[in-house]
Structure 1
Amino acid sequence: MVSPPGRPLVIAHRGASGYLPEHTQQAKALAYGQGADVLEQDVVATRDGRLVVLHDLFLERVSDVARRYPGRARADGHWYARDFTLAELRGLAVTERLSAAGDAAAFPGRFPPWQGEFRLHALEDELALLRGLNATTGREVGAYPEIKCPAWHREAGIDLGVLLAETLEAELAARGPLPLWLQCFDPAELRRLHAQGFRLPMTQLIGRVPAEQGDWAGQDPLSTAGLAVLARHCSAIGPWLGHVWRDGRDTGLVARAHEVGLAVHPWTLRRDRLPEGCQDAEALVAQLCHDIGVDGLFTDHPDLVVRARARVGERTGALD
């Protein structure tokens, strides 16, 4: 769905991950309180076939798994969530994301590593939190789960895309409507799910180098023709921010997507890691909202985007 001009959805990227460890219940609750319209969930599968909210396939950059289970790394040196039960994962201590080397914070200046008490949680836990907050506040904040590495999961013995889609459909049938989008980087996966009859709103994520993502059915996904192909089974695209805004200018992607009926939800606006050529986060949000016309924006700092969006509304009359 294309959003009203000047009022894109504020999508909390891994929660309010600029302030608290990513994908923790605390980060999601803070994002909700900061006014996010949608909470994002990256989803991977556990050894016992449960769905856990985790950005990576592996665990060591956000938890104490190496200390707790020193003998359970694979040959490549990673501890994979797929090798642990949900109960084991819930027992891990979670930290602010670490660097690849594990010796420093990935984002210096954010929440201090190894401070506080944070845990991993299942997708069902987060949906329960979201519905509970919607019930107590009267708001209608949505969910935005991502199918992480579906081909890898199939090789590991589980069809993550189908499992997640079936779980979401069952959730909606049992508990009622909830704003929801299903996202994935793998273009073949979303085509497959649509062909199998799933009709959840789908968002095709587009990385910095689309050609590395897989089979685009012979089309450039950034072209009008490629976008028209995506519009047959998707309601939105989630492109890397550099495909939308480059060197201070509109690339034209949003207009091309809107021509074929696709909403545009770029990623990721971070106050502490702005794109090259940008010095002012709020000014960038204003340009994206008002001039370029994005329909949603993934951000680690939901409060910043909520505030900037409101200021755009005050100037243009598109008030929250």
Structure 2
Amino acid sequence: MPRRTPLVIGHRGAPGYRPEHSRSSYALALAMGVDAVEPDVVLTRDGVLVVRHENEISGTTDVAHRPEFADRRTSKTIDGTEHVGWFTEDFSWAELSTLRCRERLPHLRATSASFDDAQPVLRLRDVLDLVRVASLEQGREIGVVLEIKHATYFHSLGFDVPAIVAAELAAAGWADGALPLTIESFESTVLLRVREHGVVGTWIYLLEASGRPFDLVAALGKASAPTYKRTASPEGLDEIAGLVDGISVDKKVILAPDRLGRVTGPSPIVTDAHARGLRVFTWTCRPENAFLAGQFRSKAGDAALGDWQGEWGVIRDAGVDGVFVDHADLGVAFFGAG
């Protein structure tokens, strides 16, 4: 089966319907026909790559309700921001595997929250194996878009993140280019170092709409580190062309809202990147009013679906190469229709 353009990527599985990064979230996204799924990885105390959006896990697991782990609650500064809660690096994999997944946004996704406390936390290896099996069963090529989280922070704790990621991909049979692997991060340095380990894949640099990458802040100081906005400029794209295969941007960069929040896009970012041989992904296409630009929201409340087709149409017409979606069925139907 030919791969569609743009690629439809199940963002943390299908978290519009199931708790993010749970087995059922990934299984549902795969059944709904996504081209790839996106696991985020962080580390346990004993160096196991686990699939969580953040290393602070109080909002996505039942850890806060587990009395045996009450004394693990603490505060930490991650990438310059203070967080309070429970952190994966303070647990062994054996301990973390006893936790159960929970819906991160229960006020918006009550149906997903009904699946709380039923599924264990997954390792990266679990997701890689799940995708391989689904590819064989469905007779089509399904990819993995692996996001490496907080590499500089974990390096400060003594973890060789690139080596750990490369070894796990090799052990799972995902490092040699036989399967469609994309690796992404908000830190370009970890992408380059994983590639130095011989991993074959597509390399995507994640860009926030504002701020600076923490790896470069740590290395150069805040005053000298380039902003994400500069990297997304024509001059910045010139500098990263050839170092990475593409960029992945906050959808706001493409929608280009004005001061009143009205969409003025698509912005030239996709055209600029394509002119330099770079692919462009965007995140995250969500249909609920809470996530839509103001002009596309209905009056039915934050959890109701608005005119998501209107907003997504601007993104599709920009010519992006990949889109991250929370509702896999809607993403496949909409972006595959063209």
Following superposition of structure 1 onto structure 2, how do residues 206-285 of structure 1 map, counting pairs within 5 Å? 206-211=207-212, 213-215=214-216, 218=226, 220-246=230-256, 247-272=263-288, 273-279=291-297, 280-285=307-312
Distance 1:176 1:45, change over 3 A: same
Distance in 1 between residues matched to 2:241 and 2:45, nearest whole Å: 35
Among 19, 25, 37, the residue aligned to 1:27: 25
Secondary structure of the 1:305 match is helix
Deviation at residue 203 of structure 1 after TM alignment: 0.6
Report how many residues are paired: 301
Letter paired with 1:281: W
Deviation at residue 187 of structure 1 after TM alignment: 2.7
8 A Cα contact 2:177 2:201, kept in partner: no
1:292 aligns with 2:288: no
Deviation at residue 112 of structure 1 after TM alignment: 2.4
Unaligned regions of 5+ residues in structure 2, if any? 77-83, 218-224, 257-262, 298-306
Distance in 1 between residues matched to 2:213 and 2:308, nearest whole Å: 29
Unaligned regions of 5+ residues in structure 1, if any? 99-104, 314-320
Secondary structure of the 1:10 match is strand
8 A Cα contact 1:194 1:233, kept in partner: no
1:111 aligns with 2:137: no
8 A Cα contact 2:42 2:88, kept in partner: yes
Letter paired with 1:253: I
8 A Cα contact 1:44 1:160, kept in partner: no
Higher relative contact order (CA 8 A, sep 6+): 1
Deviation at residue 287 of structure 1 after TM alignment: 3.1
TM-score by length of 1: 0.86
1:91 aligns with 2:98: yes
Name the % identity. 34
TM-score by length of 2: 0.82
Deviation at residue 175 of structure 1 after TM alignment: 8.5
Distance 1:208 1:106, change over 3 A: farther
Letter paired with 2:99: L
Match of 1:59 in 2: 57
Deviation at residue 213 of structure 1 after TM alignment: 4.3
Secondary structure of the 1:120 match is coil
Bigger mean CA deviation after superposition, 112-121 or 244-253: 112-121
Distance in 2 between residues matched to 1:198 and 1:174, nearest whole Å: 5
Distance in 2 between residues matched to 1:155 and 1:209, nearest whole Å: 24
Match of 2:44 in 1: 46
Distance in 2 between residues matched to 1:79 and 1:21, nearest whole Å: 18
Deviation at residue 159 of structure 1 after TM alignment: 1.9
Bigger mean CA deviation after superposition, 123-132 or 89-98: 89-98
Deviation at residue 288 of structure 1 after TM alignment: 2.1
Deviation at residue 45 of structure 1 after TM alignment: 0.8
Bigger mean CA deviation after superposition, 300-309 or 144-153: 300-309
Match of 1:166 in 2: 167
Deviation at residue 240 of structure 1 after TM alignment: 0.5
8 A Cα contact 1:16 1:300, kept in partner: yes
Letter paired with 1:278: F
